[in-house]
A = this chain, B = another copy of it.
Amino acid sequence: MDEDAKKTALRMIPYGIYVLTAEKGDAVGAATVNWVTQTAFTPPLVAVGVKTDSATYATIKDAGHFALNMLGKGQQGIAFGFFKPAEKDGETIGGESYRSGTTGAPILENAPASVECKVLEIVEQGDHQVVVGELVEAHAATAPEGRPDQAILTKWELGDNVFYGG
């Protein structure tokens, strides 16, 4: 395989930035991710690539649910905050206020929108697993002005040399 072509082709896929969360008992997981896509309308499904050896993955697998918290323009600070393992401290995770959603997954108060999903299936094939979830709840504080897909924080807004995925 042509490694340069592979890098170019895969880097053409554009990504938004999300904080993926799950909680069960004392275990909490929260991590910045970008490998996300919707995959069906009926039922409404999303697929997320989640780092195999992460606390977030372990918590999602155990809890059977997760939340995807969409980040908005200017929320780079939140994105960078969840690059490292998140700690729960009272009503905050990684320093961010949250509430428990319908599923129990943490909903970040500062996220402009979030979806909660139950885990339908996990494809365990690589350094990141494909978690397929069905939407069971959605939250949106305020409808963004203009197109929603232009209101999300994007990977290129994290820095000129940031191409990290997962």
A interface vs B, CB < 8 Å? Answer: 1-2, 4-6, 8-16, 35-47, 49, 68, 70, 112-115, 120-121, 123, 125-130, 132, 134-140, 143-144, 147-152, 154-156, 160, 165-166
- Taking a contact as CB atoms under 8 Å apart, the answer to whether B49 and A12 are in contact is no
- Taking a contact as CB atoms under 8 Å apart, the answer to whether A2 and B139 are in contact is yes
Contacts A2-B138, A2-B139, A152-B13; A8 near B126 (Cβ below 8 A): no
Q: Which of B126, B130, B144 contacts A12 (CB 8 A)?
A: B144
The 8 lowest CB-CB distance pairs between A and B, nearest first, are: A40-B126, A39-B49, A6-B138, A5-B140, A11-B148, A9-B113, A5-B138, A37-B37
